Structure 1
Amino acid sequence: MGSAFQKFCCCCCCTGDDDDEDEKQSLVQPDPLDYFTREVQKRRDEETNLWSEPGDPSHSERDDDRTLYTLLQARNKTRMGSTGYRRLSVDIEAMRDTRREVRDKWKTILENLGFTAEADSLLTVSAGGSLDRMRNAAASRALLDTLHSETSIFSSREPPPERYLFILDRLLYLDIAEDFLAKARRFYPPGYESDEEMPGLQINLPLLLARVEAMNGKGAGDEEESDREDDNLSDHS
């Protein structure tokens, strides 16, 4: 009897200790350093990929964002150094370069307007940006459409990236949006260094997606066989 009672009390005490430990764990706050590190990485990724719709965390609403995101995900699942990894890296950098070229055009105009020190901050758009918080959403949309149709600052084959709505909203607030538009018309008139004149810079989104899907359907053996074929070709060359 006494032995059974002692076991009962022991179990109760152990259960209580476990509950207290769980409660303590639930009260532990997340490490601020981890949060800061994640935020820094998120901003670095944003500036690297320059998502066309920064407010879309799934990166699936626009064709170009979906293509870039799919390429990045596919590369994460591919063995580093393999032929497939190298091919994906080339495609990823091609898309990033195209986006950086657009951003550089905007930076050139802003610097010409005298905003050399402020250009980078004006062009930075965080993933938390919301169209609902814009001061001049309608005017920004109209200006974006004008830039798309009356200049070569964007590709004529795709709708203009939504990220530049936030930047135009800032320029409207600073009362320099019309000056920016005038400079854009002057520096990048329609047809100037357009995709039609420079076919090597075109990004074939359907082709890239088809290539990724084909690679996802390959097994590890297929990838190794592809590597061996490339090595054989390099030996014969």
Structure 2
Amino acid sequence: MGSAFKKFCMQFCCCCCCADDDDEEDEKQPLVSPDPLDYFTREVQKRRDEETNLWSEPGDPSHSEREDDRTLHSLIQARSKTRMGSTGYRRLSVDIEAMRDVRREVREKWKTILENLGFMAEADSLLTVSAGASHDRMRNAPAARAMLQTLHSETSIFCSREPPPERYLFILDRLIYLDIAEDFLAKARRFYPPTDESDEETPGLAINLPLLLARVEAMNGAPDDDESERDLSD
């Protein structure tokens, strides 16, 4: 009995000593906490990317739900894997900027109308849509969608050959909440009346999405710049 108790005490003391050693080791280890600066840097970069690319589906982090978002995302990804300064890199940059210019042009039309309505200081914030935009948070989703379709069919704000970008659904929801949506629609009809498809300006490369995707595939499959250049010029 005494020897068993003694053995138990020795084992207990050994465990305690090991635990104390582990505690001391833990105390020696520095506490690693996420750097808030890194978080804010990532958030700033995310917002900058959002404003640069103006995703048609801002709530889709994969950028794969709409064909135009998928094309732009594929171009950006392909460029990131291409040697900077190469022929392929420059060609991809031209295509990316062409698509971005189309989107910026649409945004500028909205900004022009808002500023004409007296929202000079508020226009940029009203037109900002974050990646966290959710249809569940909308206050007037049905009315906003109906108005978006009206803008698409009765004005030349958007390209008539493509469905209107979903990002403007969230903006219209704000305008309805602020009770200025009808005024916005009236101004849009006056500033940007509908045009015949034959008279409509070709919106950059936005109507050539399959061609751009084919170009990305050609870039990814080309072993070098010279061969890529030959393939794309054929």
Q: What TM-score does the superposition give when structure 1 sets the normalisation length?
A: 0.83
1:104-160 CA-partner distances (Å, limit 9, x unpaired): 000000000000010000000000011100110110000001000111100111110
Alignment of 1:113-152 (within 5 A): 113-152=117-156
> CA separation in 2, counterparts of 1:152 and 1:39?
34
The alignment partner of 1:135 has SS state of coil
Contact 1:43 1:126 in 2 (8 A): yes
Q: How many corresponding residue pairs?
A: 215
Aligned equivalent of 1:74, options 69, 72, 78:
78
Instruction: Calculate the aligned-residue CA RMSD, in Å.
Output: 2.5
Give, as a single letter, the amino acid of the residue that structure 2 aligns with 1:161: P
Contact 1:54 1:129 in 2 (8 A): yes
> CA separation in 1, counterparts of 2:75 and 2:20?
51
Contact 2:95 2:205 in 1 (8 A): no
> CA separation in 2, counterparts of 1:84 and 1:63?
22
> CA separation in 2, counterparts of 1:163 and 1:31?
32
Contact 1:195 1:202 in 2 (8 A): no
**Higher-Rg member (1/2):** 2
> CA separation in 2, counterparts of 1:146 and 1:200?
20
5+ unaligned residues in a row in structure 2: which ranges? 1-13
Alignment of 1:1-237 (within 5 A): 16=22, 20=26, 28-191=32-195, 196-199=199-202, 201-203=204-206, 204-219=208-223, 222-224=224-226
Contact 2:53 2:100 in 1 (8 A): yes
Q: 4+ runs of 1 displaced by more than 3 Å?
A: 12-15, 194-197, 224-227
5+ unaligned residues in a row in structure 1: which ranges? 1-7, 230-237
The alignment partner of 1:124 has SS state of coil
Identity %: 79
Contact 2:61 2:131 in 1 (8 A): yes
Give, as a single letter, the amino acid of the residue that structure 1 aligns with 2:184: F
Contact 2:222 2:228 in 1 (8 A): no
> CA separation in 2, counterparts of 1:41 and 1:13?
45
* Displacement after TM superposition at 1:223 (Å): 1.9
Shift in CA distance, 80/176, structure 1 to aligned 2, threshold 3 Å: same
> CA separation in 2, counterparts of 1:216 and 1:189?
42
Contact 2:59 2:131 in 1 (8 A): yes
The alignment partner of 2:62 has SS state of coil
Give, as a single letter, the amino acid of the residue that structure 2 aligns with 1:155: C
* Displacement after TM superposition at 1:218 (Å): 1.4
> CA separation in 1, counterparts of 2:198 and 2:59?
27
Shift in CA distance, 57/200, structure 1 to aligned 2, threshold 3 Å: closer
> CA separation in 2, counterparts of 1:72 and 1:201?
17
* Displacement after TM superposition at 1:99 (Å): 0.1
> CA separation in 2, counterparts of 1:92 and 1:18?
56
1:185-236 CA-partner distances (Å, limit 9, x unpaired): 00101118x68432373421000000101111112xx225557x8xxxxxxx
